[in-house]
Amino acid sequence: GAVVSQHPSWVICKSGTSVKIECRSLDFQATTMFWYRQFPKQSLMLMATSNEGSKATYEQGVEKDKFLINHASLTLSTLTVTSAHPEDSSFYICSARDKGQPYEQYFGPGTRLTVT
């Protein structure tokens, strides 16, 4: 149980284009989903928290117009990196919290984004 998937697992895009990453909770309903970013050999940095049906809450320093988050259903959240630049290259990881469990977060496998 508590499986979270991400798609794609890796993506390469050209500078200036947009990329969408999907995060799905496969066997539970996730009222809250989280998006993290991780640079090589570093820790996870929370980018934003999204609740189903409402606007995402962004961490300080994260541009909401650049990183668009949509949490349209209890099993799907998407992160769109708009007008991507090489400095956006990173490992993006989502996590989800089970509707019935207030504490645990279950992480997806991550998406490696490379902007050329």
Partner 1 sequence: GENVEQHPSTLSVQEGDSAVIKCTYSDSASNYFPWYKQELGKGPQLIIDIRSNVGEKKDQRIAVTLNKTAKHFSLHITETQPEDSAVYFCAASQNNDMRFGAGTRLTVKP
Site of interaction with partner 1 (CB under 8 A): 4, 6, 32, 34, 42-44, 46, 49, 93, 95, 103-110, 112
Choice between 1 and 86, CB closer to partner 1: 1
Cα distance from N-terminal residue to C-terminal residue, the chain? 37
Q: Is the peptide bond before 109 cis (omega within 30 degrees of 0)?
A: no
How near is the Cβ of 29 to partner 1 at its closest, in Å?
A: 16
CB 3 within 8 A of CB 105: no
How near is the Cβ of 80 to partner 1 at its closest, in Å?
A: 20
Choice between 70 and 82, CB closer to partner 1: 70
How many residues are recorded in the chain? 116
Name the residue among 51, 84, 53, 54 with its Cα closest to residue 67.
84
Choice between 4 and 115, CB closer to partner 1: 4
Question: What's the DSSP call for residue 66?
Answer: T
How near is the Cβ of 78 to partner 1 at its closest, in Å?
A: 17
- Cα R_g (the chain), whole angstroms: 13
How near is the Cβ of 83 to partner 1 at its closest, in Å?
A: 26
Choice between 6 and 75, CB closer to partner 1: 6
